[in-house]
Amino acid sequence: MRLQHFGDSYDIVKKCLLNWLSPFGPWVAHPMLTETFADKDAEGFAKFLGVPLVSTEVLHSQTDRSQYFSCCLREESLFLDPDTDVRIAAKGKKKQAYIFSEEIRNLCEPRKNRLVMSFDQSLAHGSDDAIIETVKEKLQVLERFGLSTFAYVSHVAFIVATASPSIADDARKTLISASFLPKRRVVSLRD
């Protein structure tokens, strides 16, 4: 996350999703900062989201990622806010901009009856069908790890994963009923 983007329309969606999925909390957020935030800015972001931040440590390309995410090994539901997206494999020069599918799997393990939700803005451009297929590929990888998943899909996506199939189903139904979003926007491999 970058300070220059704080308060943009993506943040409004983040806040809404956390609110609609609040029954599956308590929630905490890891903003995955790629630049230093002043304490007042981090506090402002936490107040805006309505959930505490687990870290304000900056993620660099040389950061030991397992150590970086150790603050997340708690029981609350977790919102991850990478700079760009969820990546299937740990490749690329700007690793600090992503959360990787294996990391999501590892973060789901300590929270058996909770959710892990990640911001994902790097989607295929084009039709809704192309965007949905891109998201489904990511969900398939997470499900191969034994997780249950769904995603909110629009011009960005929010991928939700959990170790519990019943929690995933309940959370998906809750999201649809609380938000009044069209079902086509809440994608599951079980559709």
40-49 pLDDT, tens digit each: 999 999 999 9
Q: Would you say 88 and 49 are in contact if contact means Cβ atoms under 8 Å apart?
A: no
Dist CA 94 CA 109 (whole Å):
26
Q: Encode pLDDT of 51-74 as tens digits.
A: 999 999 999 888 998 999 999 988
pTM score of the predicted model = 0.91
Quick one: tokens of 104? 């999501």
| pLDDT value of residue 4 | 56
The full set of domains in the chain, from first to last, is 3-183 (3.40.50)
Query: Per-residue pLDDT tens for 79-114?
Result: 999 987 787 766 656 677 778 899 999 999 888 889
Contact 83, 1 (CB under 8 A): yes
Query: CB under 8 Å to 22, separation ≥6 — which residues?
Result: none
User: Quick one: pLDDT at residue 96?
Assistant: 72
- Tell me the average pLDDT of the chain: 88
59 and 32 in contact (C-beta within 8 Å)? yes
> Residue 148: enclosing H or E segment and its boundaries?
strand 148-153
